[in-house]
Amino acid sequence: MDEDVVKTKVPEIYQSIIKTEEDVDWEQIKEDLEELNWLFFDDLQASETIISVWKVADKYGVSVLQDTPRFKLFKIQKVKLIITNYVYNIEDSSDISLICKESRGKIEEMLFFSCARGMMFMSSEENLPNLTLRIFDIFTEFKTMISHFFIHFDKQLKYQINTTIGALLDDIFYIKVLKEFKEKLNDNENTKKIVADFGSKVTESQNYETPNNVYTSQTTGPVGSNWKIGSVNSVSSGTGMGYNYYMTNDHSMHLRENSYKGELNDENKRHGYGKVTFFGGDTYEGFWDNDRPHGEGLYVWKIGGRYLGEFTKGNISGVGKRVYPSGNFYVGEFLNGKKHGKGEMNFKNGDVYEGNWEDDCMSGDGKFSWSTGDYFVGKFVKDMRDGKGVLTMVNGDIVEGIWKDNQFIN
């Protein structure tokens, strides 16, 4: 029953979950999705969205501490993109102020910290160092997961209150979990270093009260910066794949900027899953690595046509399908944006070529079938029949021999 609800309400997320080939608790997954309000959507406010993410993340973190981990819903790429899209679209100054306050409050209230502190309180002095190291590893993974969701929002958060989600988590982990056991943990070299690292980073104000003058009405950042949450201000040098559109990462003062929604790494580069809309109108949605499309993805050209398949270091390379504005489509291998390797081209008029390609041309062994029923099997060079081959015609005639520049010569 719970599985059917998830399958019906959020089919894309459902398909991603079953592809993990894990034994999942559908009741728990349904509970998390209800918490996120994705099963019964009713005009959820931005601030409520952020709060719901904290709640689901907290449940997951506590389950890992207790050695009964829940399904990690946040590892699903579609879920990541939905959350980062929510965060990306937060631009209203009142919403930003509210979320800053709410995020701080929800981090303080997290059961994760009280659960970790309780485990340490119940531990013997002998086991305390090893337990602390385990809790530290869980916290690090937990913080990384959360920080990735809010990395776009961190720009605004840091601008307004000079901190980040990661820094807030570090502060409260130190104050609520480590600080009380500081003396005991200093007796062990490994835990002593952890305490020292966190203690040196903690903010001076430990009551986490936000000054009244912190929040302003500015949502665009410093004057002239053209700052927008989630915006990657890179001026494109081309709109088609293979033209290194991604190479310019200068912060532009021009309005012609690309809009990106998705994951970023610690260096603020596109990394993970995300979608970019280029100022020319083209779009790419899929996986990124170090600011370049890498892995499975979908590229759509504004002028028409699309490509779904593999990317390598920013180029169409690997196996995929490309549909052209003319209506022709190709399924097969690509290299650096060109048809290369084995593949099949289906022409709008009904003709089909299946065989080898080189540098975007029919080259090597292949079969060309005309819509009339005639077909040729043999050698091709740069889209021409060239070499040995056999032409079989629909009337039963067969021509076998040598071809040159598309003409039968012997």
152 vs 94: which has the higher pLDDT: 94
- How much is the average pLDDT of 204-222? 31
Strand-pair partners of 356: 342
**Buried b / exposed e across 366-376, counting CB within 10 Å, b at 16+?**
bbbbeeeeebb
Work out the pLDDT band at 87, boundaries 50, 70, 90: low
| Residue 82 CB burial class (10 angstroms; 0-12, 13-18, ≥19) | middle
What's the chain's average pLDDT? 77
- How much is the average pLDDT of 52-76? 86
Helix (H, G, I), strand (E, B) or coil at 187: coil
Yes or no: say if 283 and 290 are a contact pair by the CB < 8 Å rule. no
Q: What is the pLDDT of residue 162?
A: 66
In this predicted structure, the answer to whether residue 218 has a pLDDT above a threshold of 70 is no
Helix (H, G, I), strand (E, B) or coil at 317: strand
Q: What is the pLDDT of residue 214?
A: 25
Q: What is the pLDDT of residue 155?
A: 62
Q: What is the pLDDT of residue 333?
A: 95
Which pLDDT tens digit goes with each residue over 312-321? Answer: 999 999 999 9
78 vs 6: which has the higher pLDDT: 6
> How many whole angstroms from its chain centre is CA 286?
7
Question: Among the listed ranges 157-166, 212-221, 292-301, 374-383, which one has the minimum average pLDDT value?
Answer: 212-221
364 CB neighbour count, 10 Å cutoff: 15
Which pLDDT tens digit goes with each residue over 151-191? Answer: 666 666 666 666 778 888 888 899 889 988 988 899 888 89
Question: Among the listed ranges 29-38, 106-115, 180-189, 337-346, which one has the minimum average pLDDT value?
Answer: 29-38
Work out the pLDDT band at 341, boundaries 50, 70, 90: very high
131 vs 98: which has the higher pLDDT: 131
Yes or no: say if 284 and 275 are a contact pair by the CB < 8 Å rule. yes
In order of their start, the domains of the chain are: 44-201 (1.20.1310), 231-325 (2.20.110)
Q: What is the pLDDT of residue 239?
A: 33
Q: Extract the tokens encoding 58.
A: 């907290």
- How much is the average pLDDT of 46-72? 82
175 vs 221: which has the higher pLDDT: 175
